[in-house]
């Protein structure tokens, strides 16, 4: 049956199709966005093959180029002609590749665009080596030899196995060094700082008797002695770690020598089979999640950011849950249901729509500058003028976000309370229970899934919020975790790292955005996955809850 | 019959002591719970209200008027007698930073340092003047600068510096004033004939030291010492050169020299203000001559505002006018009147500029003192402080004290509380003519490297940017979200709806920092390259959807029926993906064909539209993405809950589904859609991270979709960490937050009320 367009249009079907199109576009956008983040984020850890090719810049220069092809695009010929590239007539566009050539210490830059027509003799040699380093980004080239104390111990083919073995040794030494530098020496520094504050506090309170000062003095001397000992140990370890080095050649033939202490890992991606690649991939993902960032956050892992986010969100939920529940119970069960309560309810509801930056500025002004500096005056006068709580930190960030998410918990809990049928409450009261008992034994247990939903939604919102945190406590790089083994264990006054802020900072403030971009995608992916899971669980809890009460209403 | 044994029911005593106690405990617990929950609930709600009041509390001080009060009055310190019996007069008065010590220079050449609080003498010394020579004029090298010059009655001048050494013996601050002669204590020769120097100006710039003196015959004399740094020793060597001075015909009232050593302002007795251009050292040029008073009044003094760009001319009618040199398109400067400040009817006797801000104080013959701010064009205080004239009015560097001489020969000290003079309603929301600009404009520029910078606190560009971003976001989000919601709620198969709705609502949970990151680093460069693709996509996609629908309608029924009704969006998913891919693949071709391979260049060169990579379109798309789920979800709920019998009735009367949807369902749900739009708008207005990352954050006012903007919220995020606590800047940022708070709160409340009304309406239906 043929339909003419006129007929079809008269029925209004084009409009219906357009509306369907709007749904479809929205879906394509959501799925496309998630797909984009996932693909860009996941690809980063895969061991990319390293391409080697002859690069002919013009007739008489022929060089070798080694690197990973990161991106390929078509460039209009016109654009190239204006840039001074010789493009034959009739050619519309040319393909060019973005090479990650690494070796920033040798060549000065990480990335390079190269026209594909200038490349010849493309090959993927098995022995080409990718090396992650603690400084200067990746290295691509060939391993020539491994040295110990300046003497070659293995060359060419034998060198690879030797290198892996010695790298392992270097890593174990490195771990020891880190343990001493961050754990033990860090502890000593904190101890000395504590002593300094103690001394100053004594003086402020006019209690600085000679005995007390002497006690502080001896303690300080102990720390100093301990520090001396550790310092000696460190010197020895540094000597050890710098024993081995490797010799490698780059794509232009430059031979460099590098101490193994500076190498994170070395691998030959072209040699790997699929299984090895998968193992490598899993390891890479693991180290991304568990390691500290390197090179101004553009490399390495994001563990401190994950840790900071989780800790802040935990503190926030500890604060927000009782407050939100109490407020909701009050509004629903105790307050007289009149116009004032209704207005209050609307007001609380609308606070969820107030921009988060407003909460941020409130947190900064009220909590930090007003309460925080008051706390400093009262409790930490010895540390002044350097502020303890009068500066952005974990505590204030948690409180600010608790305030921000309070409406979410209140609204969700209230909804849960309102869904509990009257009959249940009346039944309890009829059996002689007091109002408080009804509440505690009957109503709250039944409303608990709703409260959970509220708390989960609050956590999801808090985990993704960045704008207020920029004012009340996050930093791009925190020297230590806010929870550690030194007294008072939970450092509420410390600034912390945060996944969302990490994305903003690395993506927009870092010196080498291009190199850091895959990492940002990976971080985004992690954040999206966490938040999506939280939301989905909230939704499923809510649905289960609804089912449950449907049965009750029967 | 039978002996019935009556079984006695066991005695149940409800009032045993234990039970009584138990009940008491329970009722106590009940009361305790009620009280504690009540208190807890109320305090949580109060805490939330605190936000509102705290923001207000931070904002309020800006709109408080200034306030001043007398602190002390004492007779003028220092020995007062000249040799020939006439009493010496004050030529210079100044306070140091802490307003603890002050300096007074007399016409006899005495330098007197005294305590500000009680007028007690600290030290006194004489300037090295020749016998019988008096100080006939005096000037500071810049406002609040301690390098000063005294013009002498023998045609020479002497430069010196008063300095205040601060020491802390026993943790007590002690300020010791001293006098130094950085350019030597030899007088500088100005009038070689030995005529008294009646007016003098001094400028000490990095390149030269410039002194201009005027004698009683209205002849100008100058000394220009250029500073050259010696390469070897690094010492500064002064080298004298000649600068020709203009010839003046009229009697000179006052003169001032700009800090760039170029503009010489001279006011004459007939109310004229002349500006001479001294940039050519051989030939001074009269740049402008303006009549300030129409010949009715006398100019009483010329004073420079902080920074030396603006000139304040005060007159005998009691008004002050602000002037500065304005550059036009041809790079020519003319003197322009910027604004005027009327004080009282009495002639002005004394004007002093503030040392840190673009403000000034005015004293008159009638004993009034007024405090003004130039930028905000605001009179902060007007108070009668004394009977008789106010003379030698000065202000402390921190603008917290002012001091003057009254007719009775007493020094009077007043404390001033004037924290935020630069803020006024007009300064925040109206066009303001800032120093160095061609015309009045809306500008936001809160800080700069130099101290004499004029802060520009116009919230207009930020409010404009906020609305612009929100507008473009709504432009993208509203049609998609509303159309999508209409389809989902009304046409879509229920099974599909249960999947689609949570998926789109999941978008709402996406952290905006991720959207901002993608917009700034992925979409912005992508769009820049695929500009024609974007526009062709906007055009082609709707057409292609209609085309697809039409083709589908003409397919054989056997194929069509494989897809049940209401599952169409699934069909469209691959189609739209393909069409989008096609558009972006074709983008270079279109660009080649229509725009010579460079649409961006075509926009800029042929249409004259500026193009930023991170522009409003990018923000609109990203923020639209963030707003779609909000609007979608609420609209969908509103449409879905339209009572079904309404649409059934319409369909039964023969209307097509589309007619029913558009004529019956949509109008019924329209209040809900309205409230969805309001809430979406509220979200777009307050969004921070997306705008922060996806625009250049330049506070410009331009509707151009290809240019960026700065929003109120992004501005807070950018500037708050640097704002000094308690400063005007800090409070204005709080004001911005307060505006955002109020806006979103009002919008959301309105939306909520509309929604509640709708709910009642449905129950009636």
A293-350 pLDDT, tens digit each: 887 777 888 899 999 998 999 899 999 999 999 999 998 888 888 888 888 888 888 8
**CA–CA separation, A24 vs B568, rounded Å?**
9
* pLDDT value at B16 more than 90: no
Tell me: pLDDT of B235 over 90.
Answer: no
Using pLDDT thresholds of 50, 70 and 90, give the confidence band for residue B738. very high
Q: Same fold for the domain at B88-204 and the one at B460-762? A: no
**Banded pLDDT at A552 (limits 50, 70, 90):** low
**Chain B touched by A455 (CB under 8 Å):** no
Is B489 near chain A, with CB under 8 Å? no
Q: Do B548 and A17 touch (CB under 8 A)?
A: yes
Helix H or strand E encompassing A365: none
**Percent of residues in chain A assigned helix, strand, coil, to nearest 5:** 65, 15, 20
Instruction: Please give the pLDDT value at position B652.
Output: 94
The pLDDT value given to residue A382: 77
pLDDT class of B6 with cuts at 50, 70, 90: low
Window B:701-730, CB contacts with A under 8 Å: 713, 716-717, 720-721, 725
Chain A to chain B, count of Cβ pairs less than 8 Å apart?
327
Query: Rounded CA gap, B132 and B84, in Å?
Result: 10
Nearest residue of B to residue A528, measured between CA atoms: B510
Superfamily of domain B460-762: MetI-like (1.10.3720.10)
User: Does B742 reach chain A within 8 Å, measured CB to CB?
Assistant: no
Subunit contact B687:A364, Cβ cutoff 8 A? no
The more confidently predicted of residues B81 and A546 is: A546
Interface test with A, best of B484, B514, B687, B753 (most A CBs within 10 A): B514
Asked if B530 and B584 count as a contact pair (C-beta separation under 8 A), the reply is yes
How far is the C-alpha of B30 from the C-alpha of B38, rounded, in Å? 12
* Interface test mutation site (partner A, options B19, B513, B734, max chain A beta carbons within 10 A): B513
Q: Name the residue in chain A with its Cα closest to that of B681.
A: A353
Q: Is any Cβ of chain A less than 8 angstroms from the Cβ of B15?
A: no
This prediction has a pTM of 0.88
Residue bearing tokens 């002012």:
B402
- pLDDT of A554 reads 45
B450 has pLDDT over 80: no
ipTM value, please give it: 0.87
| 3-state secondary structure at position A454 | helix
The two tokens of residue A289 are 């999640």
Q: Is A431 on the interface with B (CB under 8 A)?
A: no
Q: pLDDT tens, B540-587?
A: 999 999 999 898 888 888 888 888 888 888 888 999 999 999 988 888
Query: Which residue bears the tokens 């010949």?
Result: B295
- The confidence score (pLDDT) of residue A508 equals 84
Smallest CA–CA distance, residue B501 to chain A, in Å, is 10
Q: Which of B628, B733, B747 sits opposite A361 (nearest CB)?
A: B733
Q: What is the mean pLDDT of residues B266-270?
A: 84
- Residue A324's contacts (CB-CB under 8 Å, 6 or more residues apart) are A405, A406, A408, A409, A410, A413, A451, A454, A455, A458, B44
pLDDT at residue number A319 = 92
Contacts of B569 in chain A (CB under 8 A): 20-21, 23-24, 27
pLDDT in tens, B200-216: 999 888 888 888 888 88
Confidence check: pLDDT of B598 > 80: no
Architecture of B88-204 per CATH? Beta Barrel (2.40)
Q: Shortest CB distance from A532 goes to which of B506, B549, B733?
A: B506
Q: What is the mean pLDDT of residues A276-299?
A: 87
For residue A156, is pLDDT > 80? no
Beta bridge partners of B263: B277
Helix (H) / strand (E) containing B556 = none
- Reported as a pLDDT band with limits 50, 70 and 90, residue B648 is very high
pLDDT of amino acid A76: 73
SS (H, E, C) B460-502: HHHHHHHHHHHHHHHHHHHHHHHHHHHHHHHHCCHHHHHHHHH
Q: How far is A376 from chain B (nearest CA, A)?
A: 17
* Tens digits of residue pLDDT in B458-499: 899 999 999 999 999 999 999 999 999 999 999 898 889 888
Q: What residues 22-51 of chain A have any CB closer than 8 A to a CB of chain B?
A: 22-30, 33, 36-37
**Touching B: A residues 319-358, CB under 8 Å:** 323-324, 326-327, 329-331, 333-335, 344, 346-351, 353-358
Candidates A2, A30, A331; nearest CB to B503: A30
Q: Say what the pLDDT of residue A1 is.
A: 56
Mind giving me the DSSP string for B247-304?
A: ---SPEEEEEE-TTS-EEEEEETTSEEEEEE-SSSS--EEEEEEESSTTSS-EEEEEE
Chain A: closest CA distance from residue B399 (Å) = 25
Burial (CB count <10 Å: 0-12, 13-18, 19+), residue B589: middle
Q: Distance from B65 to chain A by nearest Cα, in Å?
A: 23
pLDDT band at A86 (very low <50, low <70, confident <90, very high): confident
| Nearest alpha-carbon partner for B500 in A78, A23, A336, A179 | A23
Q: How confident is the model over A257-279, as a mean pLDDT? A: 87
Task: List the domain boundaries for chain B.
Answer: 88-204, 460-762
Provide mean pLDDT across the span A243-262.
Answer: 84
Interface check for B502 against chain A (CB to CB < 8 A): the answer is yes
**Residue B45 with chain A: CB contacts under 8 Å:** 327, 331, 344, 348
pLDDT (mean) for A187-196: 84
Of B74, B133, B146, the closest CA to residue B107 belongs to B133
Q: At what angle do helices B494-509 and B568-595 cross, to 10 degrees?
A: 50
B23 contact residues in A (CB cutoff 8 A): none
**Torsional sign, CA B278, B279, B284, B287:** negative
For the cut 90, the answer to whether the pLDDT of residue B734 exceeds it is yes
Q: What percent of chain A has pLDDT over 70?
A: 99
Q: What is the pLDDT of residue A415?
A: 86
Q: What is the pLDDT of residue B653?
A: 93
The count of C-alpha atoms lying within 13 angstroms of the C-alpha of B169, restricted to the half-sphere facing its C-beta, is 4
Asked whether the predicted pLDDT for residue B373 surpasses 70, the reply is yes
Taking only residues 485 to 524 of chain A, the set having a beta carbon closer than 8 angstroms to any beta carbon of chain B reads: 500-501, 503-504, 507-508, 513, 517, 520, 524
Q: In A, which residues are within 8 Å of B693 by CB distance?
A: 504, 507-508
CB contact under 8 A, A531 and B511: yes
Fold assignment, A51-125: SH3 type barrels. (2.30.30)
For residue A382, the 8-state DSSP code is: G
CATH, range A306-499 = 1.10.3720.10
Break chain A into its structural domains and give their ranges: 51-125, 143-288, 306-499
């Amino acid at each position: 049956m043929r339909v003419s367009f006129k007929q079809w249009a008269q029925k209004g079907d084009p409009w219906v199709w357009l509306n369907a199109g709007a749904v479809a576009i929205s879906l394509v956008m959501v799925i496309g966005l998630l797909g984009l983040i996932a693909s860009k984020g996941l690809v980063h850890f895969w061991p990319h093959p390293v391409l080697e090719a002859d690069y002919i810049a013009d007739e008489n220069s022929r060089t070798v180029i080694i690197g990973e092809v990161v991106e390929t695009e078509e460039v209009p010929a016109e654009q190239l002609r204006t840039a001074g590239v010789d493009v034959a007539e009739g050619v519309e566009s040319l393909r060019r590749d973005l090479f990650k050539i690494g070796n920033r210490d040798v060549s000065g830059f990480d990335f390079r665009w190269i026209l594909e027509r200038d490349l010849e003799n493309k090959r993927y040699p098995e022995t080409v080596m990718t090396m992650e380093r603690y400084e200067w980004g990746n290295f691509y080239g060939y391993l020539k030899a491994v040295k110990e104390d300046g003497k070659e111990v293995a060359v060419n083919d034998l060198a690879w196995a030797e290198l892996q073995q010695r790298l392992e040794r270097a890593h174990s030494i490195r771990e020891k060094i880190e343990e001493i530098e961050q754990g033990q020496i860090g502890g000593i520094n904190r101890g000395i700082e504590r002593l300094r504050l103690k001394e100053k506090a004594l003086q402020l309170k006019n209690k600085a008797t000679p005995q007390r000062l002497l006690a502080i003095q001896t303690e300080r001397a102990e720390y100093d002695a301990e520090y001396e000992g550790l310092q000696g140990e460190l010197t020895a370890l540094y000597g050890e770690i710098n024993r081995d080095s490797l010799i490698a050649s780059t794509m232009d033939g430059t031979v460099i020598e590098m101490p193994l202490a500076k190498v994170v890992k070395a691998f030959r991606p072209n040699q790997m089979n699929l299984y090895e690649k998968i193992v490598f991939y899993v390891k890479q993902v693991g180290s991304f999640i568990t390691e500290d960032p390197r090179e101004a956050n553009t490399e390495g892992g994001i563990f401190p950011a994950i840790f900071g986010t989780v800790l802040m969100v935990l503190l926030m939920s500890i604060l927000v849950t009782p407050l939100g529940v109490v407020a909701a119970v009050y509004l629903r069960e105790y307050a007289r249901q009149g116009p004032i309560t209704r207005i209050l309810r609307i007001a609380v509801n609308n606070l969820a729509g107030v921009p988060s930056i407003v909460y941020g500025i409130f947190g900064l002004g009220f909590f930090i500058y007003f309460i925080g500096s008051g706390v400093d005056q009262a409790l930490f006068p010895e540390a002044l003028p350097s502020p303890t709580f009068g500066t952005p930190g974990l505590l204030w960030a948690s409180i600010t976000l608790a305030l921000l998410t309070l409406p979410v918990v209140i609204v969700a809990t209230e909804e849960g309370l309102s869904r509990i049928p009257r009959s249940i409450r009346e039944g309890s009261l009829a059996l002689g229970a007091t109002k408080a008992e009804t509440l505690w034994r009957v109503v709250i247990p039944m409303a608990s899934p709703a409260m959970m939903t509220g708390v989960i939604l609050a956590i999801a919102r808090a985990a993704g919020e960045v704008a207020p945190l920029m004012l009340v406590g996050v930093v791009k790089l925190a020297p230590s975790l806010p929870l550690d083994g030194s007294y008072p264990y939970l450092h509420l006054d410390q600034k912390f790292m945060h996944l969302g802020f990490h994305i903003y900072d690395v993506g927009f403030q870092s010196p080498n955005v291009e190199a850091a971009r895959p990492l940002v995608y990976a971080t985004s992916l992690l954040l999206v996955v966490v938040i999506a899971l939280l939301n989905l669980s909230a939704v499923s809890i809510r649905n289960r809850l609804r089912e449950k009460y449907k049965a009750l209403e029967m | 019959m039978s002996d019935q044994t009556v079984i006695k029911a066991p005695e149940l005593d409800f009032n045993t002591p234990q039970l009584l106690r138990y009940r008491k405990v329970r009722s106590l617990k009940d009361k305790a719970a009620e009280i504690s929950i009540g208190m807890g609930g109320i305090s949580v709600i109060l805490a939330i209200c605190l936000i509102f009041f705290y923001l207000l509390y931070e904002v309020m001080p800006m709109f408080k008027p200034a306030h001043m009060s007398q602190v002390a009055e004492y007779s003028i310190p220092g020995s007062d007698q000249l040799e020939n019996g006439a009493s010496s007069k004050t030529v210079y008065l100044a306070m140091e930073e802490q307003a603890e010590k002050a300096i007074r220079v007399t016409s006899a050449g005495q330098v007197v340092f005294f305590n500000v609080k009680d007028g007690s003498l600290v030290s006194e010394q004489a300037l090295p003047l020749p016998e019988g020579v008096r100080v006939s004029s005096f000037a500071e090298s810049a406002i609040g600068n301690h390098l000063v010059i005294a013009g002498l009655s023998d045609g020479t001048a002497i430069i010196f510096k008063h300095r205040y050494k601060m020491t802390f013996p026993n943790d007590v601050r002690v300020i010791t004033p001293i006098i130094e002669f950085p350019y030597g204590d030899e007088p500088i020769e100005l009038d070689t004939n030995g005529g008294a120097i009646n007016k003098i100006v001094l400028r000490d710039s990095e390149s030269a030291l410039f002194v201009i003196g005027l004698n009683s015959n209205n002849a100008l004399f100058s000394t220009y010492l250029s500073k050259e740094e010696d390469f070897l020793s690094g010492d500064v060597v002064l080298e004298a050169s000649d600068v020709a001075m203009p010839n003046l015909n009229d009697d000179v009232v006052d003169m001032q020299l700009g800090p760039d050593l170029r503009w010489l302002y001279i006011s004459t007795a007939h109310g004229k203000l002349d500006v001479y251009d001294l940039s050519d050292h051989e030939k001074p040029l009269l740049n402008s001559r303006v009549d300030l008073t129409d010949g009715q009044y006398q100019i009483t003094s010329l004073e420079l505002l902080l920074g030396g760009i603006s000139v304040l001319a005060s007159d005998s009618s009691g008004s002050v006018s602000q002037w500065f040199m304005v550059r036009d398109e041809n790079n020519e400067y003319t003197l322009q009147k910027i604004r005027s400040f009327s004080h009282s009817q009495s002639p002005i006797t004394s004007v002093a500029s503030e040392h840190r801000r673009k403000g000034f104080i005015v004293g008159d013959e009638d004993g009034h003192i007024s405090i003004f701010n130039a930028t905000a064009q605001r009179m902060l205080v007007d108070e009668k402080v004394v009977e008789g004239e106010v003379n030698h009015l000065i202000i402390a560097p921190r603008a917290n004290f002012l001091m003057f001489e009254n007719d009775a020969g007493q020094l009077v000290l007043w404390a001033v509380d004037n924290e935020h003079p630069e803020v006024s309603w007009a300064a925040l929301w109206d066009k303001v003519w800032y120093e160095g600009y061609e015309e009045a404009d809306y500008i936001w520029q809160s800080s700069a490297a130099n101290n004499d910078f004029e802060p520009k606190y116009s919230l207009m560009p930020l409010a404009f940017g906020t609305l612009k971003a929100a507008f473009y976001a709504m432009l993208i989000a509203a049609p998609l979200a509303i159309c999508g919601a209409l389809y989902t709620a009304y046409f879509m198969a229920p099974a599909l709806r249960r999947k689609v709705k949570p998926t789109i609502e999941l978008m709402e949970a996406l952290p905006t920092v991720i959207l901002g990151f993608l917009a700034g680093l992925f979409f912005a460069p992508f769009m820049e390259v695929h500009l024609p693709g974007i526009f062709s996509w906007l055009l082609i996609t709707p057409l292609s959807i209609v085309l697809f629908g039409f083709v589908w309608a003409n397919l054989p029924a056997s194929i069509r029926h494989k897809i049940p009704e209401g599952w169409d969006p699934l069909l469209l998913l691959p189609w739209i993906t393909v069409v989008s891919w096609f558009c972006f693949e074709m983008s270079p071709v279109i660009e080649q064909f229509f725009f010579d391979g460079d649409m961006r260049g075509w926009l800029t060169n042929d249409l004259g539209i500026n193009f930023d990579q991170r522009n409003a379109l990018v923000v609109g798309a990203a923020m639209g993405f963030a707003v779609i789920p909000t609007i979608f979800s609420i609209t969908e709920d509103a449409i879905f809950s339209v009572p079904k019998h309404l649409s059934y009735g319409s369909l039964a009367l023969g209307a097509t589904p589309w007619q029913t949807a558009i004529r019956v369902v949509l109008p019924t749900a329209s209040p809900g859609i309205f409230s969805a739009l309001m809430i979406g708008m509220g979200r777009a207005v307050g969004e921070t991270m997306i705008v922060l990352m996806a625009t250049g954050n330049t506070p410009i006012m331009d509707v151009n979709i290809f240019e960026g903007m700065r929003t109120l919220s992004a501005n807070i995020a950018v500037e708050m960490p640097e704002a000094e606590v308690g400063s005007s800047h800090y409070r204005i940022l709080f004001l911005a937050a307060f505006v955002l708070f109020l806006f979103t709160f009002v919008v959301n409340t309105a939306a909520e009320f509309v929604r509640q009304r709708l709910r009642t309406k449905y129950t009636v239906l």
